[in-house]
């Protein structure tokens, strides 16, 4: 018999929702318990209706908690601080200019100015005025904070400027220096309020900022999902200046409860609803690194606001979720074992299959040399990343220094072809094994039929991100499962680990390793010189071998189907 949900109660033949009101909220809600009829006698329907109502009630309680929470200490941007001080000065100057008791003695006026300018007296006066301004505006500024110190300094200077103007009004012939920051302000100045920068406006600014590096389509999709979560949590119309560190910590707490692939599981749910629904279904939550990526995106928004002087500082600075178990970088992915490689390259795709589409794992007579066939082999013998292989075009194959090479490069538009890092722009010699398997013959055959810049593997489908590598990655995961490789640390990128190990075993110099794999030291020395010659690297890559792995059955001469 299914376990009954504790928040449901059957009264007669109708289910009711019963929720205990949190102790802290009882004085404001006026109840100890919420009771609502769900108007159904069907238990499963009651569960569903109860979850929906519970999510709405939880959201209402969360909103009440936020409204009851102590006013957060705020930090102001330089613009906002000056706006406060400037408005204070205009109001102060208006009051002073209306005085009916002008100075009768210049000596008395100068003594008054000297008294006011005394550091101790000035500190008391500016503190009192700054406190009054903050209270009138409903701002909880912490004395000693950056915002407080800036406001206090502006008001100190404003008090001295106001006293000088008092003297000038009584004794027009006396010339006193003026503060340039206050020179344009008078009793009749009409100050326009500083525009409120909302979460929505900030995201729109970052999205349209042409000074930022362009994002790939894949990155745009990810950022859009993250911005949506940030908007839902903080509120589209929330002033970013009102978001303090406590609120950011609440966002951290939510991320640790947010389910992975939330938009797929609950496409119409908000982040708050997704958390509740996922908890009911006991779905896995975001991986630590994925959750931290949301925090980095939030931080990048705040830092953009700091650069535009809309915020004084980033309230998310330094906040990252710590993984329970730290995984070393080299342990995130594992190389394939020799047995794994044998299993991969003795699968029907490499020994004879029905076709390289749905029938790739069905034994047959065809070895179809197209994208699915070549990508793993090229990764194994060149160290290329999956996207680097999938985006190759026919003109990426050249002969330089009497050496057949593959150019790994991005496109001018930055979208069609991309490389992961600056060091990723490179060339790699064609390994002798790939030549024996007919790679260059395959390229030459396609060049005779297509445009020079045509895709090498045009039959590979494009993903929603615009890259062929995304659908291929899903295919390869299924392929590994078919051949019995189920370790989650073994994926297509494992070929790159095999390649790096093969270079180690061959005792290839570190400079040649970096050139052949697109790795970099990050040092200035990487920018000097033209780099190693193709013929030099061809000698090095020839040493890449996998003892015990016999791929002679793939050499040209075996039965090859037309592509």
User: What is the DSSP track for 308-326?
Assistant: TTS-SS-TTTT--PPPSSP
| Residues with Cβ within 8 Å of residue 66, at least 6 apart in sequence | none
pLDDT at res. 140: 78
Say whether pLDDT at 260 is over 80.
yes
Distance spanning both ends of the chain, measured CA to CA: 58
Q: By C-alpha distance, which of 423, 434, 432, 433 is closest to 515? A: 423
pLDDT number for residue 383: 92
Domain range summary for the chain, segments of one domain joined by +: 8-64, 78-170, 199-307, 334-554
Q: CB of 14 within 8 A of CB of 40?
A: yes
pLDDT given at position 70: 55
Q: How far apart are CA 28 and CA 68, in angstroms?
A: 10
Q: Give residue 69's pLDDT.
A: 60
- pLDDT value, residue 539: 93
Distance CA(194)–CA(310), nearest Å, equals: 10
Gap between the Cα atoms of 130 and 88, Å rounded: 9
Q: What is the pLDDT of residue 495?
A: 95
Phi/psi at 385 (nearest 5 deg)?
A: -75, 160
Half-sphere exposure of 476 (CA within 13 A, CB side): 27
Residues 230 and 298 sit within 8 Å (Cβ to Cβ): yes
Predicted local distance difference test score (pLDDT) of residue 550? 94
* Predicted confidence (pLDDT) at residue 99 exceeds the cutoff of 80: no
In the CATH scheme, what is the code of domain 334-554? 1.10.443.10
**Half-sphere exposure for 313 (CA within 13 Å, toward CB):** 11
Please report the DSSP string for 153-207 in residue order. Answer: HHHHHHHHHHHHHHHHHH-TT------TTTTT--TT--PPPPPP-BHHHHHHHHH
Q: Cα 341–346–349 angle (5° rounding)? A: 110
In this predicted structure, what is the pLDDT of residue 63? 76
**By the 8 A CB rule, do 279 and 254 touch?**
no
Residue 179, pLDDT score:
86
Per-chain mean pLDDT for the chain: 84
pLDDT of 381-390, one tens digit each? Answer: 999 999 999 9
Share of the chain above pLDDT 70, in %: 88
Residue 274 pLDDT exceeds 60: yes
CB 290, CB 307: distance < 8 Å: no
pLDDT digits (tens, 9 = 90+) for 21-35: 887 778 778 888 888
State whether residue 375 is helix, strand or coil: helix
- The answer to whether 534 touches 512, Cβ cutoff 8 Å, is no
Rounded average pLDDT over 120-139: 84
135-162 mean pLDDT = 85
Judged by average pLDDT, the poorest of 240-244, 376-380, 529-533 is 529-533
Q: What would the pLDDT profile of 173-232 be if each residue is shown by its tens digit? A: 767 778 888 888 888 888 876 667 899 999 999 988 888 777 777 788 889 989 999 999
Angle between helices 245-255 and 217-234 (to 10 degrees): 120
Nearest to 366 by CA among 350, 346, 345, 343: 350
> Which one is predicted more confidently, 153 or 519?
153
pLDDT exceeds 70 at position 458: yes
Highest mean pLDDT pick, 122-136, 187-201, 291-305, 408-422:
291-305
Residue 74: pLDDT band with limits 50, 70, 90: low
Q: Is 104 in contact with 172 (CB distance < 8 Å)?
A: no
Whether 244 has a pLDDT exceeding 80, the answer reads: yes
Q: What is the pTM of this model?
A: 0.56
| Position 15 pLDDT exceeds 80 | yes
Between 104 and 271, name the one with better pLDDT: 271
Residue with tokens 């939510």: 254
Q: What's the whole-number mean pLDDT along residues 441-455?
A: 90
Between these two residues, 520 and 499, which has the higher pLDDT value? Answer: 499
């Amino acid at each position: 018999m299914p376990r009954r949900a504790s928040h449901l109660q059957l009264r007669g033949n109708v289910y009711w929702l019963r929720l205990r009101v949190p102790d802290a909220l009882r004085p404001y809600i006026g109840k100890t318990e919420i009771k609502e009829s769900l108007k159904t006698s069907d238990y499963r329907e009651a569960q569903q209706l109860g979850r929906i109502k519970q999510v709405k009630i939880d959201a209402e309680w969360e909103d009440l908690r936020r409204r009851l929470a102590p006013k957060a200490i705020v930090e102001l941007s330089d613009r906002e601080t000056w706006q406060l001080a400037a408005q204070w000065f205009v109001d102060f100057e208006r009051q002073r200019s209306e005085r009916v008791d002008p100075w009768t003695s210049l000596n008395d006026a100068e003594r008054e100015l000297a008294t006011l300018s005394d550091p101790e007296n000035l500190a008391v006066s500016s503190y009192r005025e700054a406190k009054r301004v903050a209270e009138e505006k409903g701002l909880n500024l912490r004395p000693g904070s950056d915002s407080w110190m800036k406001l206090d300094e502006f008001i100190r200077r404003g008090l001295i400027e106001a006293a000088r103007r008092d003297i000038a009004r009584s004794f027009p012939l006396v010339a006193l220096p003026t503060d340039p920051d206050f020179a344009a302000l008078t009793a009749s100045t009409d100050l326009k309020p500083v525009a409120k920068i909302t979460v929505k406006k900030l995201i729109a600014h970052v999205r349209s900022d042409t000074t930022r590096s362009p994002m790939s389509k894949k990155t745009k999709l990810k950022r859009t999902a993250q911005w949506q979560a940030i908007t839902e949590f903080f509120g589209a119309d929330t002033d970013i200046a009102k978001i303090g560190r406590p609120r950011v910590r609440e966002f951290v707490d939510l991320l640790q409860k947010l389910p992975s692939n939330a938009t797929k599981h609950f496409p119409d749910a908000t982040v708050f609803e997704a958390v509740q629904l996922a908890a009911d279904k006991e779905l896995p939550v975001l991986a630590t690194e994925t959750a931290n990526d949301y925090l980095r995106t939030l931080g990048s928004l705040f830092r953009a606001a700091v650069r535009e002087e809309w915020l004084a500082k980033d309230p998310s600075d330094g906040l990252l979720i710590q993984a329970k178990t730290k995984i070393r970088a080299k342990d995130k992915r594992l190389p394939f074992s020799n047995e794994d490689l044998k299993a991969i390259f003795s699968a029907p795709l490499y020994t004879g299959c029905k076709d390289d589409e749905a029938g790739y794992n069905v034994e047959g007579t065809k070895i179809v040399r197209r994208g699915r066939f070549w990508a793993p082999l090229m990764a194994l013998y060149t160290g290329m990343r999956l996207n680097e292989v999938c985006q190759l075009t026919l003109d990426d194959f050249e002969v330089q220094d009497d050496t057949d090479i593959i150019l790994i490069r991005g496109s001018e538009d930055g979208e069609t072809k991309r490389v992961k890092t600056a060091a990723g722009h490179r060339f790699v010699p064609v390994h002798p094994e790939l030549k024996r398997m007919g790679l260059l013959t395959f390229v030459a055959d396609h060049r005779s039929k297509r445009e020079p810049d045509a895709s090498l593997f045009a039959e590979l489908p494009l993903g929603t991100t615009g890259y062929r590598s995304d659908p291929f990655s899903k295919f390869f995961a299924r392929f590994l499962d078919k051949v019995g490789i189920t370790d989650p640390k073994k994926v297509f990128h494992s070929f790159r680990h095999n390649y790096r190990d093969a270079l180690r075993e061959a005792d290839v110099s570190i400079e040649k390793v970096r050139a052949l794999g697109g790795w970099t030291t990050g040092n200035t020395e990487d920018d000097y010189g033209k780099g190693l010659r193709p013929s030099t690297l061809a000698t090095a890559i020839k040493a890449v071998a996998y003892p015990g792995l016999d791929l002679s059955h793939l050499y040209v001469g075996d039965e090859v189907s037309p592509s």
